[in-house]
Structure 1
Amino acid sequence: MRIDGRRLRSERTKQLIIEAYLALADAFSPRVPTAAEIAEKAGYSVRSVFERFPDILTLQIAAVDYAMAQVTALAPPNELEGDRAMRIRSQVRARAQVCERWLPLWRSLIVNQGNSEELKDRIRGSRERVMGRLEAMYQPELETVAEGERRQLVIALEALTDVESWARMREFFGLSFDEACLAWIQAIDRLLPRSATDP
C-alpha cells in the first residue's frame, strides 16, 4: 500500500499548527492567539492555517481534542486495587499533573467557550471523565453510602480537585506541587467515608 506523501505532509502541518496553538495558549492564556501568531509560531503562512482549519474555533476544538488525548495517553496508571492511602495518593498525583500541565488551555477554553456547543461539550466531557475516574478510584468508600449521597460526594470530590482549585493553591496561596498534593490528599481522606476494609 503506497503512502501518500502529500497527505502525510498535510497531516504533519496540521499537527504543527495544533502544537503552535497549544504553546501560544500556554503563553497568552486566557486570550485566544490570532491566526497570524499561530502561523508565525508554526512556521507557516496564515493561508496554511486556514487551509487546514476553516476558523480559529475549529482549530481550538482540534487542540482541545489533542490535549485530551494526551492526558489519556500520558496519565500514569492509577492503583485501583491498592489500599485507601495508596489510591488517594495515586489519584491526587495523576490529577495534579494534569492540572499543572493543562491549566492555561483549560482557562482559555472556559473563557472563550461563548456559544460554541462543541467547546461546552468538551468541558462537560472532561468533567464527566474526572467524575468517572473518581467513582472507580473510590468505589470501596462510595459503596458505603446511599446512592443520592454518593452522587453528592462525587460532585464534591470533583469540585475539590477542579483545575481552578489547583490554581488557587499554586498561584494564590503559593504552595509547592507537593504541598498542594498533600492538601488534596488530606481533604479527600477526611471527606471519604471509611470502607469495610479500611483499618
Structure 2
Amino acid sequence: MSGRKIAAATVQNRTQTPFWTWIRNKLLAVDRLPKTPPPGLPTPDGKAVYHNPLRFPNTQSARPGSAELPTLPGGVHHISSGNYYYTRDGRREVMPPKPVYLSDGHQVKFGTPTGAALTSGIIFFCFSESEAVQVNKGPSANFGLESPTPGFGFEWKRNRETELETQKEDPELARLERFDRFSSSK
C-alpha cells in the first residue's frame, strides 16, 4: 500500500510516568535476576529488550482511503470483493419462527408451519390431528421446510440394540424413557 504514516516521526509517543513504568516492569518481569532467563529473545549484545506492544501513530501506516484498490484475480473472491458485509451475513438470512397457532384468549386457530390457515377455520381448544400439520415429524418429513428457521427439532427414538451394555442396563435412561411419549408427534 503506502509507506506514509498516520503521524510524522517527530511526534513524541505517549509514555507512562516513571512510577507506573516501574510497576509494569516488575509485573512483567522485564528486569530479571541474572539467574533467570531473559523476558524475550536476546539481542546480539546478549540483553533482552522489552518491546512495548502499544501502537503509536508514527508506527502505523496511513489508511488506504486514497490508495488504489487491490487487483484480485477472477473467481469467487473477485465477485464478492465489492459486496458489503451485511449483505453476505448468514445471520440476516434467519427468519423468525412461523406461528403454528394464534390465540386471542377465547379461541385458538391452528395453522401449518408454512403459515397457511386450516381449511376448517377455527378450532375451539382442541387439536385436529387430520388437518393440523405438526412441526415435530422427524428429519425426513421436515426436509422441505424453509431453513434455517428455528423450532423444527429432531425426534429422538431409543434403540436398545445399538447401545452399549452399560447404557442398556442404565436405570436413569429407563426412567427417562417414559417421557418419550410427550415428545412424540405421531
Q: Which has the higher helix share?
A: 1
**Please, what TM-score do these two structures have when normalized by structure 1?**
0.20
Larger RCO: 1 or 2 (CA < 8 Å, sep 6+) = 1
Q: Considering only CA atoms, is the larger Rg found in Structure 1 or Structure 2?
A: 2
